[in-house]
Structure 1
Amino acid sequence: MTEAITPITGDHLKAWGHRPGPAYPALIDRANAALAGGADLDAVRSLLAADLPPPPPPVLQPQPAGAVPLHVNIAAEDADEQKNLEDVMATMVEVLKTPTAVAGSIMPDACPAGPLGTIPVGGVVAARNAIHPGMHSADICCSVMITDLGHVDPKAALDAASASTHFGPGGREQGSRYTVSLDLLDQFRENPFLKDGRMIHAAQAHMGTQGDGNHFLFIGRSRATGRVAMVTHHGSRGPGGLLYKYGMEVAERFRSELSPGTLKQNAWIPADTEEGRDYWEALQIIRRWTKANHNALHQAVVEKLRANPGDRYWNEHNFVFRRGDLFYHGKGATPAWDGYADDATGLTLIPLNMAQPVLVARGKNADHALGFAPHGAGRNFSRTEHKRRMGSVTPDQMLASETKGLDIRFHCGGIDASELPSSYKKADTVIRQIGDYGLAEVVDCIDPYGCIMAGDVPPVWKTDRRRRR
């Protein structure tokens, strides 16, 4: 009498290291066919060995505090700056525990930007084979663009800009939108991170918009040439915010598998994966969209003025830059080396506050700054603390005192006191430390005539309620 053959089941395959999945039934069928053909269990196991999944990657542990070099390019000159510096240092120590980090740096405009362990404004982190969405933040490719408008009337330029720009939450209404090129929209549709309908709508509705917060449109005059210039500051708006959301979701999936001990805000997408390559390309497309957004506003003003413009150039912060085999994450820091991008000019714009000039600087590619320069002035304390320190002084009084002689406009709300000069670091301190640390050489200053900001915008829920009424 022939002995019955015990069939191979999923339990056998699990014991041999196979993972349950769509291919499981076919593996079981192959195993039992081999068994029926006379193979013993060892032979069947060897037969299926080629289909074993790769071993799971090793779990990466956070690095010890101080294991990654941190270059400090900021000095405290009063009690507020000392407290700010201590907070920045504390959060950078936690950031640099991230397993992918190989070096960090902080700029003279550094200030905290979230819970402990969140990369600060003015922070730079170099990482190996990793793109960290949390290290470029939701305002991806926040950037500054300048156009030389020529010998035009600065008031006329600011009037033309007021009629052309759009501040506040959301996008433009149908009928008042700026055109997005079909080629750029096609690039959105071809990328897995950018192709959904919500993203495409945002790309169309948010073109020609600047948002709120510290984003601005500035009109000033070049000390070097005497010509009037327009400077805009804003990021990628809705499309960038959505990409950040999608990127963080993918990064969290990798974090939970690769390094569950890493802080969630420092999760990463491995650059050598399909997701990493798609995310890198999505960042480049968002960069193109953001540059087009700046260009749309600048060209609209040029055409309204019938100006004869000169140079136009830009530089970004809140972005990721590849240099060799490392990915450099600049949060409120801008690259200061030649050729960091195809459209780089070697010049960097560094705005300070609405009552101070925009600096035109040439970066020095300093090793101790990981090749970066500051993006602006930064803050020594929060918006809430600034409001508390105002005491009985009204926003109108503060505006009059701090911006005397300037044409300051708030596009869609009251005066936003948290954007007035006293809310920012002292401009002369930032300028001095740029020189002291050898970060950049100032080659021109655009002295202010005036600027436009969103203003104290009502909350979105309140605005929506008014619309419904």
Structure 2
Amino acid sequence: MAKLKLRGKDLIEIGFPQNKAISIAMEIMLRHYKRETKERALEKLKQVLVNPADYMGDGVFGKIAEALTVPKKPQMQALNQQRAPFTIFGENGIDDVAKGQLYTALKLPVARAGALMPDGHSGYGLPIGGVLATQNAVIPYGVGVDIGCRMCLSIYDIPPSYLQGSREKYVKILKEHTKFGNREVHGKPGNHDVLDREEFRTIPFVKSLLDKAYKQLGTSGGGNHFVEFGIVNIPEEDTAFKVPPGQYIGLLSHSGSRGLGANIAKQYTYLATKQNPMPKEAQYLAWLDLDTHDGQEYWLAMNLAGDYASACHHDIHKRIAKALGTRPLAMVENHHNFAWKEMVNGQELIVHRKGATPAQENVLGIIPGSMTAPGYIVKGKGNLLSLNSASHGAGRLFSRSKAKLAFTKNDFTKVLNDHGVTLLGAGLDEAPMAYKDINKVMAQQTELVEVVATFLPKIVRMDSE
């Protein structure tokens, strides 16, 4: 069948206003009805034109209906002169570029409050460790490219001595049951209810990512993502963390929503830059209004990606628990690249945490160190100045490129040997020396979280690239 041939003139002849609605309609029809006849395509567009309200929120025609109902020409957004209220924790250990990125974000017309965590360092849009509360607007780069990047810890009732006495067994389990980067997938992918979600059927762009999501389920990304065995030390029982005091083997994973989240981030960042173009210094802070079709669609897609990230972790932990022949005593997990609807000073706002751990009162979370430094299981204190947030790790001291120049393989190997850590994969850019001192970072956020347990890595698996 021939490809649909549609011109702007055709739409004008059936009554379309001569504005952006024409280009939006043509783009959507050529994408989703490219094998349809012109007559049937125009008949469908007539139905939308006559009753656009009936199509608001529709996965295919909602954007056309919105353009017909509220035609709007995007205008360059101006930054406010004054910053929204903010607090920086551990300010002396954070570089000026990261602080400058927060200051710019605080001048957005939609910004209402912000904070920067003590592991903060520069990124795109919001700095890593940045928290920003906005009014009815979501910033794709405020969430981050790796939507729903998160931590997940399983605690097993197995003596830590097994990690030394049966080290090869645990190394083999990580080699056989974890997959990293864009090259590796499981020979037999798992399954999860998240793959049956409505968003995979009702949002056309997300629908195109279903096959990728299925293949990558239960895998981890590259970079600083990992799956590792280590020693969990619980000094005393806590009312929020109900695991008996003692030492256990733990499995800790760090990864996000893989190709699904990355493609969603790219697509909706592009749409945000078209709808709310920003001056150069704030070009990565373009937002989507949650009252628009694209804003609502991104919110649904973001939450889907977050749930998919969680499903990936659960698949990893399920595979490894099966290999261990046991079930975990407890599991702790949290996102640290996401946006939530939360009450701030009596008002519902969109709280973006880009590399920041949710730390509402008595809420458990995980703050990892480097591969040779302890990570911490923490309980939030609900500090309003941090927008109920804490750091998501130690934070980088050296960028990836600088780390590769600053350290040698011998340096890397010596540090691993000194700490008794077995490493599978990873490059010099992930050397422990490239990260800040996690103990100093934790000391700078005692008013944000309380430590209830520690995790010390012993066998670490990362992407070989």
How high is the TM-score relative to the length of structure 1? 0.76
Instruction: Supply the distance in 2 between the matched residues of 1:403 and 1:112 (Cα, whole angstroms).
Output: 31
2:219 equivalent to 1:172: no
Choose the corresponding residue for 2:460, options 451, 456, 460: 451
Cα distance between partner residues in 2 of 1:159 and 1:65: 57
Aligned to 1:366: 383
1:32-431 aligned at under 5 Å gives the runs: 56=72, 61-76=77-92, 81=93, 84-114=94-124, 118-151=125-158, 153-154=162-163, 155=167, 156-172=169-185, 176-181=187-192, 184-192=195-203, 194-197=205-208, 199-224=209-234, 225-256=246-277, 263-324=282-343, 325-338=348-361, 346-390=363-407, 394-411=408-425, 415-431=426-442
Q: Equivalents in 1 of 2:176, 2:311: separation in Å?
A: 19
Contact 1:351–1:376, Cα closer than 8 Å, also in 2: yes
Structure 1: unaligned runs, 5 residues or longer: 1-17, 24-51, 339-344, 458-469
Query: For 2:185 and 2:118, how far apart are their aligned partners in 1?
Result: 36
1:215/1:58 Cα in 2 relative to 1: closer, same or farther (>3 Å)? Answer: closer
CA drift of 1:400 comes to: 1.9
Amino acid at match of 1:432: A
Structure 2 unmatched runs, 5+: 1-16, 26-67, 235-245
Q: 1:272 Cα deviation (Å)?
A: 1.8
Are 1:362 and 1:441, in contact at CA under 8 Å, matched by a contact in 2? yes
Calculate percent identity across the aligned residue pairs.
27
Give me the whole-angstrom Cα distance separating, in 2, the residues matched to 1:119 and 1:85: 14
CA positional deviation for 1:132: 0.5
TM-superposed CA distance for 1:182, in Å, is: 5.4
CA 1:66 to 1:410, structure 2 compared with 1: closer, same or farther past 3 Å? farther
Distance 1:66 1:449, change over 3 A: same
Aligned mates of 1:360, 1:446 — CA distance in 2:
8
Distance in 1 (alpha carbons) for counterparts of 2:70 and 2:193: 42
Count of residue pairs brought into register by the alignment: 385
SS in 1 for 2:247: coil
Contact 1:434 1:440 in 2 (8 A): yes
Bigger Cα Rg: 1
Report the CA distance shift for 1:177/1:264 in structure 2 as closer, same or farther (over 3 A). farther
Assess if the C-alpha contact under 8 Å between 1:108 and 1:122 holds in 2: yes
User: Equivalents in 1 of 2:276, 2:77: separation in Å?
Assistant: 11
Question: For residues 51-109 of structure 1, what are the alpha-carbon distances to aligned partners after superposition, in whole Å with 9 as ceiling and x for unaligned?
Answer: x9658489574333443122111132xxxx4xx43222122122222221111110010
Name the CA distance, whole Å, in 1 between partners of 2:118 and 2:329.
31
Quote the Cα distance in structure 1 between the aligned partners of 2:438 and 2:306. Answer: 28
C-alpha contact (below 8 Å) 1:402/1:420 kept by paired residues = no
Query: What's the Cα RMSD here?
Result: 2.6
Contact in 1 for aligned 2:232/2:247 (Cα 8 Å) = yes
Question: Is the 2:229–2:250 Cα contact (8 Å) retained in structure 1?
Answer: yes
Q: Distance in 2 between matches of 1:68 and 1:135?
A: 16
Q: Secondary structure at the match of 1:355?
A: coil
Change (3 A) 1:93 1:260: closer
2:359 and 2:388 in contact (8 A); partners too: yes
Distance 1:182 1:298, change over 3 A: closer
Distance 2:207 2:74 in 1: 34
Letter in 2 for 1:214: N
State the distance in 1 between where 2:81 and 2:349 align: 21
**How far apart, CA to CA, are the structure 1 residues paired with 2:176 and 2:363?**
32
Quote the Cα distance in structure 2 between the aligned partners of 1:170 and 1:113: 26
- Residues 355 and 421 of structure 1 are in contact (CA less than 8 Å); yes or no, is this contact kept in structure 2? yes
